[in-house]
């Protein structure tokens, strides 16, 4: 599991639970944190034009090798740390340029200064 990968995440905390639909997420945590059984992820939701004015919503087109079939929105306001056991299926990966846009949106949400 690496930065930039798109995964399906179990909505329920129990990995064995089949309730609920899985949610697509993108991993944004550093690969240097690989020893921990946690990843920082940003959820993906179907894109809506009204998201255009929201600086925490990043439009992600269905680029090659992403595993996405339609435009999605990376919702930086919902950034979270999750157990790797909740990440159930790798769908693909996003280009570095999209990950950079997502991390910029996270910086806006956290009012962090970017280098």
Residue 115 lies in a domain: no
Q: Which pLDDT band, with edges at 50, 70 and 90, does 35 fall under?
A: confident
- Model-level pTM greater than 0.85? yes
Residue 60 sits in a domain of what CATH number?
2.30.30.110
Mean pLDDT confidence for 24-40: 90
Instruction: State residue 33's pLDDT score.
Output: 79
Instruction: State residue 12's pLDDT score.
Output: 73
Number of domains in the chain: 1
Pick the range with the lowest mean pLDDT from 6-10, 16-20, 58-62, 109-113: 16-20
> Which structural domain range is residue 89 located in?
5-110
Residue 80 lies in a domain: yes
> How distant, in Å, are the alpha carbons of 48, 51, 113 from that of 6?
20, 20, 26
Q: Which pLDDT band, with edges at 50, 70 and 90, does 47 fall under?
A: very high
- CA-closest candidate to residue 79, choices 28, 115, 22: 28
Instruction: State residue 45's pLDDT score.
Output: 96
């Amino acid at each position: 599991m690496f930065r930039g990968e798109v995964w399906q995440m179990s909505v329920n905390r129990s990995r064995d639970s089949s309730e609920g639909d899985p949610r697509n997420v993108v991993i944004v945590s550093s690969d240097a944190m690989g020893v921990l059984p946690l990843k920082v992820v940003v959820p993906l939701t179907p894109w809506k034009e009204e998201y255009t004015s929201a600086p925490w919503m990043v439009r992600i087109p269905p680029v090659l090798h992403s595993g996405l079939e339609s435009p999605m929105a990376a919702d930086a306001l919902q950034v979270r740390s999750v157990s790797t056991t909740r990440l159930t299926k790798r769908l693909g990966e996003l280009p570095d340029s999209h990950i950079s846009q997502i991390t910029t949106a996270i910086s806006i949400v956290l009012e962090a200064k970017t280098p």
